[in-house]
């Protein structure tokens, strides 16, 4: 019986030493992989030497702590403020006894591995905060670390929603990640007070700028329209000064015939007409065209009329001709054609010539200037046309 117990104890001791030796080898693999994977510009890990693979030497490495002198398993890696850069290496999976991992205030980048909870199932303290540049989302698998008491990823570049099981940690543990949302930070899908303020200010500034631009455009069109109106008035003689000649011409007549909707109103005194239009003042001008200017006239009985001064009647017929056509030696011919055209738009229909008369007038003009006539006959029944026209 004593022999059996002795054999069992011996076997257990050998098995323990065998397992322990493998565990120590895993710890060495863990720190070797960590040093090889991270960039160390200040050579803070230069003292990590693995020529002697004993557990005692591993526990003496900078930033490495073990359980105790008898059980040399790595329990803590505190490599803070060493300017280490690179991504979290998968060699951490060999440090299965690790309870504290502090890599804060370095220059780490890349995502937080979702397998870290299976690599380090006994983690109590995980600090990846400050000056690191970790990106991506916080793995929901971290919620499976039941022993986790201290967790911080502040001041990184993480985004997405915070796992609900990690909401028990404070806001300061997640602060400095502009893309993170959810408790204990702001609600996902909503706007923070700062962002809302920026949007409101931007909206107000945009509205003010839009109003200024709109007012500037309106003012520009307003000035342009005013300038164009003044130019038209001056071009067609409604600026008051140019009207004097034809107004004086009107004063030589005692009676003036006025046409309203093609029905003549006879024997309106010129004095009444001058009063009604304020001596054909430019302020009473309604519309100005190349054929003349229309004025608003209000008679003593309240009747409102539109009085149009024809260019031919005012002696300013040349104003109706395009300036580009003048001065080329054909001015007299153009005036003759214009006189014929104006007879077609006189106020009283009975005073207007027939088409045959217009044709004859133009034909006579052509013959006087030596143009041959190819069309000897007018292609209409003139007798009937003239008879209908006179009616």
pLDDT at 77: 95
Average confidence (pLDDT) over 55-76: 83
Pair (103, 143) in one structural domain:
yes
- Residue 334 in any domain: the answer is no
**For residues 339 and 312, what is the distance between their CA atoms, to the nearest angstrom?**
8
Asked if residue 38 lies in contact with residue 61, where contact means CB atoms within 8 angstroms, the answer is no
pLDDT at 176: 93
pLDDT in tens, 114-159: 999 999 999 999 999 998 999 999 999 998 999 999 999 999 999 9
pLDDT in tens, 68-106: 767 778 999 999 999 999 999 999 999 999 999 999 999
**For residues 364 and 373, what is the distance between their CA atoms, to the nearest angstrom?**
10
**For residues 332 and 324, what is the distance between their CA atoms, to the nearest angstrom?**
15
Pair (134, 25) in one structural domain:
yes
Pair (230, 251) in one structural domain:
no
Pair (136, 77) in one structural domain:
yes
Average confidence (pLDDT) over 367-376: 62
pLDDT at 268: 66
Q: Which domain holds residue 206?
A: 195-236
Q: Which residues are registered as beta bridge partners of 179?
A: 159
Kindly state the percentage of the chain with pLDDT values over 70.
66
Residue 348 predicted with pLDDT over 50:
yes
- Residue 252 in any domain: the answer is yes
11 Cβ contact list (under 8 Å, min separation 6):
none
Pair (311, 226) in one structural domain:
no
- Residue 6 in any domain: the answer is no
Pair (176, 268) in one structural domain:
no
Residue 327 predicted with pLDDT over 50:
yes
- State the pLDDT confidence band at 387, using cuts at 50, 70 and 90: very low
Give me the number of domains the chain comprises.
3
pLDDT at 19: 38
**For residues 258 and 262, what is the distance between their CA atoms, to the nearest angstrom?**
9
- Residue 384 in any domain: the answer is no
- Residue 133 in any domain: the answer is yes
pLDDT at 391: 43
**For residues 218 and 22, what is the distance between their CA atoms, to the nearest angstrom?**
85
Pair (179, 264) in one structural domain:
no
Q: Residue 126 CB: number of other CB atoms within 10 A?
A: 25
- State the pLDDT confidence band at 227, using cuts at 50, 70 and 90: low
Residue 20 predicted with pLDDT over 90:
no
- Residue 371 in any domain: the answer is no
Pair (101, 25) in one structural domain:
yes
The region of weakest confidence among 108-112, 180-184, 323-327 is 323-327
Pair (39, 158) in one structural domain:
yes
Q: Where are the alpha helices (DSSP H) in the chain?
A: 2-37, 55-59, 116-119, 193-236, 244-251, 270-276, 331-343, 355-368, 382-390
Asked if residue 40 lies in contact with residue 27, where contact means CB atoms within 8 angstroms, the answer is no
pTM above 0.85, yes or no: no
Q: What average pLDDT is seen over the chain?
A: 76
Pair (91, 110) in one structural domain:
yes
Pair (223, 281) in one structural domain:
no
Which H helix or E strand runs over 101? strand 100-102
286 Cβ contact list (under 8 Å, min separation 6):
294, 295, 296, 306
**For residues 210 and 216, what is the distance between their CA atoms, to the nearest angstrom?**
10
Q: What are phi and psi for residue 91, nearest 5 degrees?
A: -70, -10
Looking up residue 254, the CATH number of its domain turns out to be 3.30.200.20
Residue 36 predicted with pLDDT over 90:
yes
Whats the size of the chain, residue-wise?
A: 391
**For residues 80 and 92, what is the distance between their CA atoms, to the nearest angstrom?**
16
Looking up residue 136, the CATH number of its domain turns out to be 3.80.10.10
- Residue 363 in any domain: the answer is no
- Residue 341 in any domain: the answer is no
pLDDT in tens, 264-322: 555 567 677 777 777 777 777 777 665 567 777 777 777 777 776 655 555 555 666 66
Pair (108, 226) in one structural domain:
no
């Amino acid at each position: 019986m004593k022999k059996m117990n002795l054999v069992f104890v011996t076997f257990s001791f050998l098995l323990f030493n065998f397992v322990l030796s493998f565990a120590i080898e895993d710890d060495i693999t863990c720190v070797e992989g960590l040093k090889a994977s991270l960039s160390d510009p200040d050579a803070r890990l230069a003292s990590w030497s693995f020529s002697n693979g004993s557990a005692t030497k591993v526990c003496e490495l900078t930033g490495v702590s073990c359980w105790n002198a008898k059980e040399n398993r790595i329990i803590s890696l505190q490599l803070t403020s060493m300017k280490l850069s690179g991504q979290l290496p998968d060699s951490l999976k060999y440090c299965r006894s690790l309870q504290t991992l502090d890599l804060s205030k370095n220059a780490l980048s890349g995502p937080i591995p979702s397998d870290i909870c299976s690599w380090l199932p006994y983690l109590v303290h995980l600090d990846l905060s400050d000056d690191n540049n970790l990106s991506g989302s916080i793995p929901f698998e971290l919620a499976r670390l039941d022993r986790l008491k201290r967790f911080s990823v502040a001041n990184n570049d993480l985004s997405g929603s915070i796992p609900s099981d990690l909401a028990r940690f404070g806001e300061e543990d997640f602060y400095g990640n502009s893309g993170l949302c959810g408790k204990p930070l702001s609600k996902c899908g909503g706007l923070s007070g700062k962002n809302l303020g920026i949007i409101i200010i931007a909206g107000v500034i945009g509205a003010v700028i839009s109003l200024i631009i709109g007012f500037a455009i309106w003012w520009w069109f307003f000035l342009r329209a005013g300038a164009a109106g003044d130019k038209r008035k001056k071009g067609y003689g409604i600026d008051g000064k140019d009207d004097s000649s034809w107004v004086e011409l009107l004063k030589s007549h005692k009676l003036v015939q006025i046409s309203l909707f093609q029905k003549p109103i006879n024997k309106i005194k010129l004095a009444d007409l001058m009063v009604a239009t304020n001596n054909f003042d430019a302020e009473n001008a309604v519309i100005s065209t190349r054929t003349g200017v229309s004025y608003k006239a209000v008679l003593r009985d309240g009747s409102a009329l539109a009085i149009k001064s024809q260019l031919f009647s005012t002696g300013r017929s040349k104003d109706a001709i395009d300036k580009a056509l003048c001065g080329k030696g054909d001015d007299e011919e153009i005036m003759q054609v214009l006189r014929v055209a104006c007879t077609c738009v006189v106020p009283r229909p009975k005073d207007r010539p027939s088409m045959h008369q217009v044709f004859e007038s133009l034909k006579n003009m052509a013959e006087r200037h030596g143009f041959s006539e190819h069309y000897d006959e007018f292609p209409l029944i003139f007798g009937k046309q003239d008879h209908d026209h006179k009616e």
